[in-house]
Each structure stands twice: as C-alpha cells, then as structure tokens.
Amino acid sequence: MRDLLSVDDLDRAAIDDLLDLGDDFVEVLGRDVPKVPALRGKTVGLMFYEPSTRTRLSFDRAAKALSADVLTFTPGGSSVSKGESLKDTALTLKAMGPHLMVVRHKATGAPWRVRDWTGLPVVNAGDGAHQHPTQALLDLLTLRRHFGKVDGLRVAIVGDIRHSRVARSLAGSLHTMGASVTLVAPSTLLPIDVDSWEVDSAAGIDEVLGEVDVVYLLRIQTERGGGEVFPSVAEYVSRFGLTRRRADQLPADTVVMHPGPMNRGVEIDPQVADGPRALVTDQVSNGIAVRMAVLFRLLTSEVPE
C-alpha cells in the first residue's frame, strides 16, 4: 500500500491487517509512556483546507505517538488569502521535507491531485462528499472491538447520506467486511447513485429500530446544501431523529455511533449521546490507533515494537 485515498483501495485482508495493527496501537496508547520510536526521523505533513477537530488532532497525535514530526498547514492565516493555489501550497509544503501528506479539502479528488503533484504518499482525510477512509477504519475498529467481529452485523446509517463522505466510505467497507447496511434518509438526502451501493434503504428510522445492531447517525451537512431539502428541523426529527423514546425501543445490545460533530437535539437526543449505548468517544480514541496503523503501514515495512 502506497497511499490511502479511498476504501476501494482496501480489500478484506488489507482492512483486517490495519485493524489488527490498530489493536496493537490501542495497547501502546494505554501504556504509561504511550509512544513508540517506529517513525523517528519521519515527518508527516497535514494539509487541512476544511474545518476539523477529531481528524486533524488524531492524525497529529498518531504521528507523535509514533515519534514522527508533524508539519501542519491550515488556510487561516496562510498565503491562501493572497491567492496561492492548492498546487503551490502543496509544493511549498513538500519543499519542507515531509515523507507523507494527509489532505482534507472540499473538492472531490484533491488528495489525488496532491499525490500527483508532489509524488509523496497521500492519506485522504476527507474530500468533499466523496471519501474519508480513515473514518471508516476507525468505525470498523470500534465495531470489531465492541462486538468481536464485523461480519454479520446489521448497520443502519441514518441522515444526510447524499453529502456524506463518511457514509460513502463506511457503507463500502462494511460491505467488504460482510456486514449488511440499511440507509435511512429522506429520498432527497439519498445519494444520486444509490442504486450502485450494496445496501437496502428505509424511509424512516422507526422501520429499522428493532432490527439493527448499530445505529450510525449523521449530521445534516448544511455547508453542502443538506438543510435545504426537507421542510423543517422538527419534521426531520419526527422521522429520522434518534429520540429517547426511540432509543428505548432498540434491542438491549444495539449501539449508537456518530462520527462527530454532533448536532444534539437534531439527529441525536443529548441524553442518548451521553448514554450507555453511545460509542462516540470510543470512536475518537480508536481513531488515533487506526491512524497510527495507517501511517505505520505507509511509512515502514517493519513490525511494531
């Protein structure tokens, strides 16, 4: 593996390998000194053109836990305001010597362009509504650690699927790993190419409550137009929100996940978000371990210590 641009790059064996390595790094992160020297002397470039809390911080934490140095670029306060292009910014960063670039950008395909311009290995940290492969991997790691397996799980992905790179990456990789996926969304928020997805769909959350192991909730992506295609927030909540009443109808072992950022009171009730079924903070912690696994695989062929 040279880059990680899309979950389409990963077959089942490659995902299993990264999740196994992710388990090893969860153990490393639990040590008194949560750091290994595996990537000493390496530098990881982070180019984040879109807002990010979890993804940027966890790539930073992952690189440092492997003893790599980090070079972080965000457009605020940079020469982007003076008209500098993505290409020139990428080449400028490259001239500072990183061994790999992590790229988030609102344009679909931007990480592929950065790879072609710089010749460096690239990890896609989210490109438009297209792909977000490390989010899918951290969700798979969270599921595997919780249930002991991913194969056979029944997962409902609920919300603004059309504009979600998280849904696109997760649905594809869940299928690869043998889980079944039901998309739950207003028809206006289903992806245009949904017929080519290996999924079922349902028109309301009540249809799936009794039959799923995982309810995976998504934010309405207002910055991509997601808020303009249903009449009101109240109407959305009435058909798609995971309210307390609905959460109480879920089977005892069903878990609730969300990639963040959550809009409490819209897709998820605040008490459900903080309740015992929610794996949201596990997802964040596992995100560090799985990103360590990805950086390790792309930057070395050795086994971890």
Binding stretches for ligand NCD (CB under 6 A): 54-55, 126, 132, 135, 165-166, 219, 221, 259-260
| Identity of the residue, 105 or 165, whose beta carbon is nearer to ligand NCD in the bound complex | 165
CB of 60: closest distance to ligand NCD in angstroms?
14
CB of 45 or CB of 259, closer to ligand NCD:
259
Whose Cβ is closer to ligand NCD: residue 172's or residue 259's?
259
Region for residue 159 given its phi and psi (left: phi exceeds 0; alpha: psi -120 to 50; beta: otherwise): left
* Rounded least distance, CB 72 to ligand NCD, Å: 16
Task: State the pairing for strand pair 255-257/214-217.
Answer: parallel
**Minimum gap (Å) between residue 238 Cβ and ligand NCD:** 21
**CA 191/CA 187 separation, integer angstroms:** 9
Q: Which of 65, 59, 62, 181 is nearest to 73 (CA)?
A: 59
Considering only the C-alpha atoms of the chain, give the largest distance between any 2 of them, rounded to a whole number of Å.
Answer: 56
For residue 261, say if its preceding peptide bond is cis, omega within 30 degrees of 0.
yes
Alpha-helix residue ranges (DSSP H) falling in 103-187: 110-118, 133-147, 165-176
In whole angstroms, give the CA distance from residue 224 to residue 162.
Answer: 10
Phi then psi for residue 148, to 5 deg, are: 85, -5
Q: How far is the CB of 65 from ligand NCD (least distance, A)?
A: 19
In this complex, which beta carbon is closest to ligand NCD, that of residue 38 or of residue 268?
268
CB of 189 to ligand NCD, least distance (A): 13
Nearest CB to ligand NCD, comparing residues 122 and 166: 166
CB of 116 to ligand NCD, least distance (A): 23
**Least distance from ligand NCD to the Cβ atom of residue 13, Å:** 26
Nearer CB in complex with ligand NCD: 169/254: 169
Distances (CA, A) of 88 to 72, 91, 110: 16, 5, 13
The Cα 144–Cα 156 span in angstroms is 16
C-beta closer to ligand NCD: residue 126 or 191:
126
What gap in Å lies between CA 42 and CA 29, rounded to an integer?
A: 20
Q: How far is the CB of 39 from ligand NCD (least distance, A)?
A: 23
**C-alpha–C-alpha distance, residues 100 and 91, integer Å:** 13
Looking at beta carbons only, is 53 or 79 nearer to ligand NCD? 53
Distance, in Å, from the CA atom of 157 to the CA atom of 198, rounded to the nearest integer, reads: 13
Tokens of 304: 């971890």
